[in-house]
Amino acid sequence: MKLIFLGPPGAGKGTLAKIVSEEYNIPQISTGDLFRSAVKEGTELGIKAKRIMEKGELVPDSLTVELVKERLARPDAATGYILDGFPRTIPQADSLAEFERLDSVINFTLDDGIVIQRLSGRRICRSCGAIYHIINLPASREGICDRCQGELYTRDDDQIESIKNRLEVYKKQTEPLIKYYREKGKLKNIDASTDPEKMMAEIKAIIDR
């Protein structure tokens, strides 16, 4: 089962990718991880990417595509995979289509209001890193970690202005891809406002069809 996961921050995409990956025994592949491990292992592509990033330049599509292609050719991805964070552009999507035949693109849909509510409510312990949520998982005493009594804070990324900014960037980048895959008949929308069990049931129905 060859899948792409698309979705805004806070949609639970990562959580579901992990569940699907375990249930169907297919790897979850993110380009971020691919770059980090290629650089760490010092592969040819990793060395190239490192040189480019050290100069503060953007890694070209062709290099990202090569990295993904190399990863998808490994035996553990033979029966399927979940791509997360790739493709990001139409040229990347076109390149991918040249060597892979995707089954479905799972698009996690979530209203902006819920994204903002989910992310802005997140609180993190300064001492032990425990994660809370003011509504979904509140600490017993406001602002204080249950585990270690550390101080809870809001990450800069989770400030409302920053969330709105991330959402804008996400939409600008993803809307063309959504249209692209819709036109190819690959796009499957998943309602990400529900719980992970319901989302998993929807995804299973798509995979097992």
Active site residues per annotation = 13, 88, 122, 155, 166
The CA–CA distances, whole Å, from 16 to 13, 29, 92, 145 equal 5, 13, 24, 27
**Least distance (Å) between residue 137 CB and Zn ion:** 13
Nearer to Zn ion, 116 or 130 (CB): 130
Q: Contacting Zn ion (CB under 5 A), which of 39, 77, 130, 144?
A: 130
Coil, helix or strand at residue 41:
helix
- Cα(123)–Cα(131) distance, integer angstroms: 6
Q: Contacting Zn ion (CB under 5 A), which of 128, 131, 160, 205?
A: 128
For residue 145, state whether it binds Zn ion (rule: CB under 5 A). Answer: yes
For residue 126, state whether it binds Zn ion (rule: CB under 5 A). Answer: no
**Least distance (Å) between residue 148 CB and Zn ion:** 4
- Cα(146)–Cα(143) distance, integer angstroms: 10
- Cα(120)–Cα(163) distance, integer angstroms: 8
**Least distance (Å) between residue 131 CB and Zn ion:** 10
For residue 58, state whether it binds Zn ion (rule: CB under 5 A). Answer: no
Q: Contacting Zn ion (CB under 5 A), which of 11, 20, 125, 207?
A: 125
Nearer to Zn ion, 39 or 130 (CB): 130
For residue 127, state whether it binds Zn ion (rule: CB under 5 A). Answer: yes
Give the dihedral sign, CA 44/66/19/26. Answer: negative
Q: How many CA atoms lie within 13 A of 203 on its CB side?
A: 31
Q: Contacting Zn ion (CB under 5 A), which of 58, 131, 148, 205?
A: 148
Encode 4-18: b = buried (16+ Cβ within 10 Å), e = exposed: bbbbbbbbbbeebbe
95: left (phi over 0), alpha (psi -120 to 50) or beta: alpha
Tell me the window of 33-41, 83-91, 145-153, 160-168 that interacts with Zn ion (CB under 5 A). 145-153
- Cα(157)–Cα(16) distance, integer angstroms: 22
**Least distance (Å) between residue 147 CB and Zn ion:** 5
For residue 131, state whether it binds Zn ion (rule: CB under 5 A). Answer: no
For residue 147, state whether it binds Zn ion (rule: CB under 5 A). Answer: yes
- Cα(31)–Cα(110) distance, integer angstroms: 23
How many residues of this chain interact with Zn ion, rule: CB under 5 A?
A: 8
Q: By CB under 5 A, name the binding residues for Zn ion.
A: 125, 127-128, 130, 145, 147-148, 150
